[in-house]
Structure 1
Amino acid sequence: MPGAPRPRTPRANPPDGALRRAPVQRRSTERLARILDACAAELDEGGYERLSTRAVAARAGVPIGSVYRFFSDKRAMTDALAHRNLDDFVGRAAARLAGPGTGGDWRTAVDVLVDEYTAMKRTAPGFALVDFGVPGETNEDLAERLPALLGDRLTADPADPRLRLALVIAVETADAALQLAFRTDPEGDARAIAETKTLLRAYLGTVLD
């Protein structure tokens, strides 16, 4: 995904690197959230090319200077949105994995992760255009967070370089396969989603079985 984000949304506390200035007061935090919410809505309506900081400011009901207080340009704003999405996804997945009926098997966890991604793809504002951002950056961030998310379900040492590489490859592979599923069907092609789960379980089984 070189250049502008591809058709692929948000994080409650974007990384400091994506912000010119991190919010320190509740009022500033709420304003930042409104800006990111407005960015997601603008992406849904007009896509990345038509996205502008001025339109986001107008939708959020804040002065244009408030947008530039946090972000240097629209790319920085969408990067923050992608990182907020990543936090949202990890939080949702963790809640599902901690709930009843998920057991302690890593294969079940794979299904939960895919299900939470597809649920956000269908319902989260802006997620169709900006999910976790640029492959190789935030996708790798997700892979780095998976060992803690999966916890005792992992049957290999989280520090094992082979496992860490396998998780990166699994995340990148799932990303490509699920993009295909939603390219052919706005709700996600059920067969492609099921095949993605099968692919991930088979591949990760070479490291975790």
Structure 2
Amino acid sequence: MPRPGTGPAAPGPESARGALRRVPVQRRSAERLSRILDACARELDEVGYERLSTRAVAARAGVPIGSVYRFFSDKRAMADALGRRNLDEFLDRTAARLAGPGTGADWRAAVDVLVDEYTAMKRTAPGFALVEFSAPGETNQDLADRLPELLGDRLTADPADPRLRLALTVAVEAADAALQLAFRTGQMGDSRVIAEVKVLVRAYLGTVLE
């Protein structure tokens, strides 16, 4: 997900590290990368990850296959870049909600916003059902690492405290597993399970943040 002040068109240098062969500099190149990732997301929704192919993505994006390989070594790198873009978008959306009026000022309110924004993307963002914040089979460590900066003064513990860092990692992985359960039966998700995820994460983080 793009960092605050940027758009979702393409991953920035930090997000692109390890995912892109070449980071776009010119606007035309960035727009082409955005079209490729958009096409990748739509292909994932239609055919799934196993049947995803760089050739099909190139055709859908309306670019030569060489343009895909200019940015990505294979489909896994392409899916990973999509996940990094999703992460930037998720963090931007969450930051905007937290900065807006009517949102509580403590970390518990932030937990609710995080779950709500994840749920909204799960329901509407192309490709998000299969590729959330990383390529399939990878962890959500990038999200956990970026939460201290996002939550800022809402945290009641030192952001550098190893115990807090571990707790955020466990909370993210536990929430992800429970939310997969919520969406197992349909695109809209089970609202009862989603509500329980908020209870679960708040209760667990309360052991560190109280």
| Superposed displacement of residue 72, structure 1 | 0.7
Secondary structure of the 2:183 match is helix
CA distance in 1, matches of 2:160, 2:142: 15
| Superposed displacement of residue 11, structure 1 | 7.3
Q: Deviations over 1:148-190 (max 9, x none)?
A: 1011110011011110100000000000000010012321101
CA distance in 1, matches of 2:139, 2:85: 11
Secondary structure of the 1:19 match is coil
Matched, 1:66 2:47: no
Contact 1:11 1:85 in 2 (8 A): no
Instruction: Give the letter aligned to residue 49 of structure 1.
Output: E
CA distance in 1, matches of 2:134, 2:185: 21
CA distance in 1, matches of 2:126, 2:42: 6
Question: Unaligned regions of 5+ residues in structure 1, if any?
Answer: 1-9
Matched, 1:128 2:138: no
Q: Please, what TM-score do these two structures have when normalized by structure 1?
A: 0.92
Matched, 1:89 2:87: no
Match of 1:112 in 2: 113
Contact 2:20 2:72 in 1 (8 A): yes
CA distance in 1, matches of 2:124, 2:72: 26
For the structure 1 residues 162 and 199, does the alpha-carbon distance in structure 2 shift closer, same or farther, using more than 3 Å as the test? same
CA distance in 2, matches of 1:185, 1:36: 24
Secondary structure of the 1:17 match is coil
1:12 to 2, 10, 13: 10
Higher relative contact order (CA 8 A, sep 6+): 1
Contact 1:135 1:172 in 2 (8 A): no
Identity %: 81
Residues paired across the two proteins, number: 200
Instruction: Give the letter aligned to residue 199 of structure 1.
Output: L
CA distance in 2, matches of 1:56, 1:141: 26
Secondary structure of the 2:140 match is helix
Q: Please, what TM-score do these two structures have when normalized by structure 2?
A: 0.92
Contact 1:11 1:86 in 2 (8 A): no
CA distance in 1, matches of 2:9, 2:160: 27
What CA RMSD, in Å, does the superposition of the two structures yield over aligned residues?
1.5
Contact 2:76 2:135 in 1 (8 A): no
Q: Deviations over 1:68-114 (max 9, x none)?
A: 10001111100100010000000000000000011211101000000
Instruction: Give the letter aligned to residue 147 of structure 1.
Output: P
Match of 1:75 in 2: 76
Match of 1:23 in 2: 24
CA distance in 2, matches of 1:136, 1:127: 14
Match of 2:197 in 1: 196
Question: Unaligned regions of 5+ residues in structure 2, if any?
Answer: 1-7
